[in-house]
Every structure is written in structure tokens, then in C-alpha cells.
Amino acid sequence: MATTPEPRQGRAASLQDVATAAGVSLMTVSRAVNGRPWVNEATRAMVLAVAKELGYRPSRGARAMASGHVESVTVLTSNTTLYGHATTLQGIEEAARASGFSLGIAVLDSPEPAAVRRAVERIDAMTGVIVIAWDLASTRALAAMPVGLAVAAVTSPTRARKVTHPSVWLDDESAAATATRYLLDLGHPTVHYVPLPEARPMRPRELGWRRALQARGVAIPPPEAGGWDAHTGYNAGVILAKDRGVSAVLCGNDDIALGVLRAMHEAGRDVPSNVSIIGFDDAPHSAFLAPALTTVRLDFNSLGRECFRLLQEILVDGGLSPAVVISKPELVIRESTARYQRPRRHKAGTPASESDD
Amino acid sequence: MATTPEPRQGRAASLQDVATAAGVSLMTVSRAVNGRPWVNEATRAMVLAVAKELGYRPSRGARAMASGHVESVTVLTSNTTLYGHATTLQGIEEAARASGFSLGIAVLDSPEPAAVRRAVERIDAMTGVIVIAWDLASTRALAAMPVGLAVAAVTSPTRARKVTHPSVWLDDESAAATATRYLLDLGHPTVHYVPLPEARPMRPRELGWRRALQARGVAIPPPEAGGWDAHTGYNAGVILAKDRGVSAVLCGNDDIALGVLRAMHEAGRDVPSNVSIIGFDDAPHSAFLAPALTTVRLDFNSLGRECFRLLQEILVDGGLSPAVVISKPELVIRESTARYQRPRRHKAGTPASESDD
DNA sequence: CTGAAAGCGCTTACAG
DNA sequence: CTGAAAGCGCTTACAG
């Protein structure tokens, strides 16, 4: 191995390469590029120039290994594109970048125990991890996280569930209750619900809905089959649209609400004069729908940021404080909800008012 | 430092820890955990058991450093949540995972040269990189990538631009032309356009639109101010809605189209009977809008996957083949487009047909 | 202000 | 089938 000043073929210049090219020791280069004190300014400038010329870039892996400090987060999640997931990820990314951390993503493709185990095993030893535990696969992954690894979680609250790791969550249980009560106060006899495919033991939105109905002594309709996307919502909507008794629908998220909206539209059931619909999330498109969607605004970005803070604390204190942060959702009232009106009596001038069931 | 069999506090077990605990050499453990041949099966089983008990997890950084093989991609992008970006990222992630690569994300927060330089400098030395170069910041980042780093790009085609790195792209120029022609064939006198905020030298969608109009000898209206989101589209839509001469609008993406749709709705201009609208992307919600959006379907997931393949080739061949892949978009006709009708003559039975300009 | 030594967790040859 | 040696790129002490 020749230690010529020329950068070696195919491999980036190392600290040593810069050192020999600059005619100083490796240590001086290290201090110079890291902005440490006790380096002659002239030397520093010279070293930096050489480093630049050689295209030197530090190896974060080597640095982490040598120093023992982890400056990297990896996010373990089942999905990266759904609104809530993507926005939480974005919040984590912003906070991580601000702290000089690098960001890794590991996605879980199956809730199957062996698959979850494999995914967990693939996580690097030298990184902090945040798991977005909103479904079965990720909940299992969280439970399978080995001790000794710094981990924080974005989860869902459920009184029954024990908090095993420092966690953040949105209080969607009370948000669902608020939304349900809002619909009830509008005079609707009851509120139907189309759920998310959450992990069995943790369906806070469904719980909030159920409790609000219970508290008012109102009949609780069986939830339709749920999912994450508009398609699921559409399928549920087609069923709900056939039932003239359905006047208000709470949806597990805005995508589901969009599908329900479409199904109602196709069935000639006007929203909001015939049926009121509330979503969950306040996704970017919701305000632009016609009718604009009434929904529960959730601050996923802050959720992600807070979770990163938690992780960072673990990394410095050694994780002694299993703290927990709760963020408050907010009901955004737009055009998809209205006061209850008896079936068969349509408002004059309402478009698309012909029924077809 | 005591080398007791107990895992050290705060630090994950290393190969060495497992070795001493198992009473074998480090090398045997290495071979065992990596599934290499030439290890006694009984020994292997024993070592694996100890490794599991100690919660051993390999350090990818150390492995990469020692072997010289990079098994990590980092994606450099300006955004992670917009549909096209998120889906491309998803494609990269899937391909990377299938190949055993870990995935890192680095986001560019500003097109300002110093900020771009800083972002590029932060990229690890031991990783392949994919840059999603769809805007100014990322285009600059691509240009600033130091030699010696393995990089592939997701870009836009422009005949004028030189391909500096192995790249993949979607042929949105011809797709835009196809969409424009479709509208013209429907009898529309011309087609208006609301662009994306692409980097100046590379606006293939706008180019395709412009050329299709030119080829038919049709007047080219000045494009409205563009952006990435529904808000931008809404603002443009408000202006377009006031002009009775606007009968067809091509939008830079589906979010913009959604905003235009909403603006038309508020202005009482019915889509598609008064104005036809075409989007770009076929985002998940577009099929569920009312009217369902006619749009150009783009396969971002495959785009991401292909780009990863390219990167992988560079990593093995040393990047000798600056290959290029083109994926074909497809026009999906739904409900937001219709045959041209003279203004002031509204179709009977059309809802929301009152004008208000 | 500068540098030689040891070590982070692993792998690639090279010996047994 | 198993192991001792050297080295990947860096940092933390510790000496000059």
C-alpha cells in the first residue's frame, strides 16, 4: 500500500492521507477539521486547504467507534409514506439534523414475529433508535428491542398498557371523544366509526369514540372494517351509504374520510346535509376537498421532534428518566359537518340530492 | 477495563465479549455470526446461543470499515413527505432492504450554496449516495458531489442538460405533451399550465406542454406562479377561475390540481363541464376526489428501485457505466376532463352552475 | 501548539 | 476447523 499524496483509487481520502499530504501528524489534522483549539491558525488553514483539495470527508462510523459517542438515530417504522408516519419522520429528521445527528430508516414489512426479530437484529449497535409503534409489527418490534440499546418510542396511549420506554404520544383518545361529542351536539342520534388497523391492545381513537357515546347513553354501532387508506374508507363508505340511519361518521384518519366522502358522493348522499363526516390528522389535502373536511388536527411534526429530544436525553443521562410527553389535538371545523336533519327531508337547492339505494 | 463475561454497562456486547464468554476466539465468533463455512456446527450453535444471550448486534460501521465494502445508501433530498419524493424514497428503501443495505436520509433545507455545501460535507465517507435532484437545492448538491463518492441520481430529463452521474428519470416531458394533446383533442382552444417550482434549467413538464401547444399552432398562455402544494394551486386557481376563457388546466402535480379544483368549486365553475383539469403523479387521493382527477400516473416506486440498482452497480464495477433508465408515464382518464363547451352555455342539471365573477 | 500510542469493533489474509 | 496479526479511520488520553 503506497502512501502517496494522491488519493487512493476508489476510496475517499482519510485523515492519514491528509496528514501525509500536508506534512503534519494525523492528530493535527483531526484537531483542525474538528475545530478544536490548540492548533496554530496558520497550520489549521493549511490543513483545511489540503483536506478540501483531497476531498476529505470524515467517516462517522469510525468517529463513533473511536469516541464511543453515538450521533445517529435510526427510525424503525412500518411505513414511511402515510401522512402521520411521514410527518413524524420529518419532525425527527429536523430535530436530528439540528443536533448534528445522522438519520437512518429501517422499515418493518411484516408483523410476523420472525420478520420482526430479523428487522430488530439488523439495527446497528452504534445508534439510538426511535420506533414509531402504531401498529402490530412496530409494537412487537418495540417489545423486542434488546436492553442496552437507547430507544424512545412514538406510541399510542392506553391506560392499560405499561410504558416500557421513554415515549411520546398524541392524546387521540380524548380527541376522538371531543369529535364524537361535537357530532352528538349537532343533534345526530349516534356516530358511526371507521377505525384504523391499529394493534389490538391499543385503539385509543376507537376507545374515545366508544366512551363518548357511552357517556351520552347512545347506541354504539359496530365499527366498519378499517385500514389506513382511502380505499378502505371507500369500502366502508359504500356500506354506510346504504343505511339511511347513518347521519354522522367519524373516521380513523383523513384518507379513510376521503374514501367515505367519495362513497357518499357516488350514492348521492350529500355531505354535510345528509351525512356529516369527521376525519383525523388534518392532512394537507383535507382543507381543499369539496366539502372541506372537518377533522382533528394532530401535530405529528412536534411529536417527532419531542421524541428525538427524549432519545437524546437517554443518550446523555443513560436513560434514567422514562419521561413521557403528551401533545394536544385540536378539532378543526370545516364544511363536512352540519346539524342533524331527518332523513327523506332534503334541503332545497342541494346538489346531488337524488337517492339510489 | 475489565473483560468480564458480563456485558459492559451502556455499551452493547462486541464480538470480543461474545468470544471470551463463549471461550473461543474472536474469529470463530465472526465466522459463526456471519454464517461462514468451516465452523464446527456444534461450535456455531454454542456461539450463536451465547451471542443471543448477550444481546450481541454487529456494528455495521466497524464491519464496513474493516471490509471496505459499503452496504449503506444515503438519500439526499429536499423533501421527504411530498408524494413523489416519499414514494421514490420508498422504492429505494425496498430495494436497499432487499439487498441488505441500510438506509440513511439527509435533507437539504436551503438552495443557498453554503447550506448545500455543508449538507454535502456531512455525508459519510463510507456510503453510497442517491440524490433526488428535482429542484434547485438538490441539483446544486448533485453538482457538488465530490469525486470518489459513489453517487446515482433521480433527475429530470432535459436534452440540454448533460448527465453527469448514472441517473434515472421519468419521461414527464412527453407525458405533459400527451396530456396537453388530449385536452386539445377534446376541443379546448388552449391549455393553461400551473408549474412546479423546478430548478430553472429543467422544467420538462412545462417544456412538454409548451411544445404540444406550439405543434398545434395554439396560443401559449403564460404559466401561473407554481409551487409544490395545494395552496399554490389554489392561488393559481383563483386567478384562472376569473378568466372565462380558461377551459382546460394542466397542473404540475395532483396537489396543485386539488387546489385548482377547490378554487373552481368556490368560484362556481363546474369541473369538468366548465373547465377540465389534469394533474400529474396519480397520488393516492386523486382517484377519490369528486370529480375524480384525470392525471398522469408516474411510477415513482420503480424509479427509486431502479436508481438503487444503478448505485449498486457503481459500487461493484467502480461506476464505469453512466447508464440511464427511462420509465414511461401513463395518462389516467377519470372525471375531471370533458369535451370543450362554449362559455355561458351550461349543461342542464349541472350542480353549482351559478357564476360569480 | 504538536505528536506517538492504544483502542473502538470488525474483517481480511495468513498460519496452524 | 481454529486462531494470532495487521489494519480499516478515527478519537481519547498522555507525552513532549
DSSP state of A203: -
Using a CB-CB distance cutoff of 8 angstroms, which residues of chain A are in contact with residue B98?
none
- Strand D proximity list, CB < 7 Å: A 1, 11-12, 14-16, 26-27, 30, 34, 56-59, 62-63, 65-69; B 24-28, 31, 37-41, 43-44, 62, 65-66, 68, 125
pLDDT interval class at B6 (50, 70, 90): very low
pLDDT interval class at B350 (50, 70, 90): very low
What pLDDT score does A77 carry? 97
Of B12, B122, B147, the CB nearest to A148: B12
Distance CA A110, CA B124 (A): 30
Peptide bond connecting A272 to the previous residue in cis, omega within 30 degrees of 0:
yes
Is B122 within 8 Å of chain A by CB?
yes
Is A35 within 8 Å of chain B by CB?
no
The answer to whether the CB of A324 falls within 8 A of the CB of A167 is yes
Beta strand spans in chain B (E): 72-77, 102-107, 128-132, 151-155, 167-170, 192-194, 248-251, 276-278, 295-297, 324-327, 330-332
pLDDT (average), residues B10-24: 83
pLDDT interval class at A224 (50, 70, 90): confident
Angle between helical axes of B254-266 and B230-242 (0-180°, round to 10): 40
Buried b (16+ CB within 10 A) or exposed e, B178-192: bbbbbbbebebebbb
What pLDDT score does B202 carry? 59
Of B12, B59, B288, the CB nearest to A258: B288
Of A83, A93, A124, the CB nearest to B107: A93
pLDDT tens for residues B180-194?
999 999 999 999 999
pLDDT interval class at B113 (50, 70, 90): very high
Task: Using only the alpha carbons of chain B, give its radius of gyration.
Answer: 27
A82: nearest Cα among A239, A197, A180, A165? A197
Select the more confidently predicted residue: A325 or B227.
Answer: B227
Distance CA B167, CA A350 (A): 52
Select the more confidently predicted residue: B114 or B12.
Answer: B114
Distance CA B96, CA B304 (A): 10
Select the more confidently predicted residue: A348 or B142.
Answer: B142
Contact B12 A60 (CB under 8 A): no
The set of residues, in sequence order, having a beta carbon less than 8 Å from that of A340 and lying 6+ positions away, is: A186, A187, A188, A189, A247, A248, A276
Contact B57 A106 (CB under 8 A): no
The answer to whether the CB of B192 falls within 8 A of the CB of B264 is no
Poorest-pLDDT segment among B171-175, B207-211, B347-351: B347-351
pLDDT interval class at B3 (50, 70, 90): very low
Distance CA A289, CA A336 (A): 9
The answer to whether the CB of B31 falls within 8 A of the CB of B38 is yes
pLDDT interval class at A219 (50, 70, 90): very high
Q: Under DSSP, is residue B203 helix (H, G, I), strand (E, B) or coil?
A: coil
Using a CB-CB distance cutoff of 8 angstroms, which residues of chain B are in contact with residue A121?
57
Q: How far is CA B8 from the centre of its chain?
A: 42
Question: Do the bridges between strand A128-132 and strand A72-77 make them parallel or antiparallel, or are there none, so unpaired?
Answer: parallel
A324: nearest Cα among A175, A159, A211? A159
Q: Under DSSP, is residue B167 helix (H, G, I), strand (E, B) or coil?
A: strand
pLDDT tens for residues B314-330?
888 766 666 677 778 89
B267: nearest Cα among B294, B235, B289, B292? B235
Q: What percent of chain B has pLDDT over 70?
A: 89
Peptide bond connecting B322 to the previous residue in cis, omega within 30 degrees of 0:
no
pLDDT at B198 over 70: no
The per-residue pLDDT of chain A, averaged, comes to: 87
The pTM for the full model equals 0.91
Select the more confidently predicted residue: A209 or A40.
Answer: A209
Please give the single-letter amino acid code of residue B31. R
The per-residue pLDDT of chain B, averaged, comes to: 87
Q: What percent of chain B has pLDDT over 90?
A: 58
The answer to whether the CB of B215 falls within 8 A of the CB of B191 is no
Distance CA B119, CA B113 (A): 10
pLDDT interval class at A357 (50, 70, 90): very low
What pLDDT score does B355 carry? 42
Distance CA A167, CA B222 (A): 51
Burial class (CB in 10 A: 0-12, 13-18, 19+), B8: middle
Strand D, nucleotides < 7 Å from a protein CB: these are 1-5, 7-13
Q: How many CB atoms lie within 10 A of CB A113?
A: 11
B49: nearest Cα among B18, B80, B72, B25? B18
User: Which residues 148-167 of chain B have a CB within 8 Å of chain A?
Assistant: 148-149
To the nearest whole Å, the CA of B19 is away from the closest chain A CA by 17
Using a CB-CB distance cutoff of 8 angstroms, which residues of chain A are in contact with residue B230?
284-285, 287-288
Distance CA B295, CA B297 (A): 6
DSSP state of B287: G
pLDDT (average), residues A215-239: 93
pLDDT at A161 over 70: no
Peptide bond connecting A7 to the previous residue in cis, omega within 30 degrees of 0:
no
pLDDT at A289 over 70: yes
Poorest-pLDDT segment among A28-32, A207-211, B30-34, B36-40: B36-40
Is B126 within 8 Å of chain A by CB?
yes
Is B268 within 8 Å of chain A by CB?
no
pLDDT interval class at A348 (50, 70, 90): very low
Q: Under DSSP, is residue A267 helix (H, G, I), strand (E, B) or coil?
A: coil
Q: Domains of chain B, with CATH numbers?
A: 15-58 (1.10.260.40), 70-171+299-329 (3.40.50.2300), 173-297 (3.40.50.2300)
**Cross-strand pairs, B76:** B106, B131
Select the more confidently predicted residue: A18 or B357.
Answer: A18
Q: Locate A62 and state its grid cell.
A: 469510525
pLDDT (average), residues A335-341: 94
pLDDT at A101 over 90: yes
Q: What percent of chain A has pLDDT over 70?
A: 89
pLDDT interval class at A201 (50, 70, 90): low
pLDDT (average), residues A263-270: 97
pLDDT interval class at A199 (50, 70, 90): low
pLDDT at B351 over 70: no
Please give the single-letter amino acid code of residue B197. P
pLDDT tens for residues B218-256?
999 999 888 899 999 999 999 999 999 999 999 999 999
pLDDT (average), residues B24-50: 85
User: Which residues 203-222 of chain B have a CB within 8 Å of chain A?
Assistant: none
Contact A103 B102 (CB under 8 A): no
pLDDT tens for residues B80-100?
999 999 999 999 999 999 999
Three-class SS of B107-150? ECCCCCHHHHHHHHHCCCCCCEEEEECCCHHHHHHHHCCCCCCC
Distance CA A102, CA A58 (A): 13
Q: Locate B23 and state its grid cell.
A: 471461550
Select the more confidently predicted residue: B38 or B336.
Answer: B336
pLDDT tens for residues A38-71?
788 888 888 888 888 888 888 888 888 888 888 9
pLDDT tens for residues B210-220?
999 999 999 99
The answer to whether the CB of A337 falls within 8 A of the CB of A183 is yes
Peptide bond connecting A291 to the previous residue in cis, omega within 30 degrees of 0:
yes
Using a CB-CB distance cutoff of 8 angstroms, which residues of chain A are in contact with residue B59?
61, 65, 124-126
Is B236 within 8 Å of chain A by CB?
no
Task: Using only the alpha carbons of chain A, give its radius of gyration.
Answer: 27
Torsion of CA A146, A147, A149, A153, to 10 degrees: 80
pLDDT at A198 over 70: no
A125: nearest Cα among B92, B203, B15? B15
Contact A65 B61 (CB under 8 A): yes
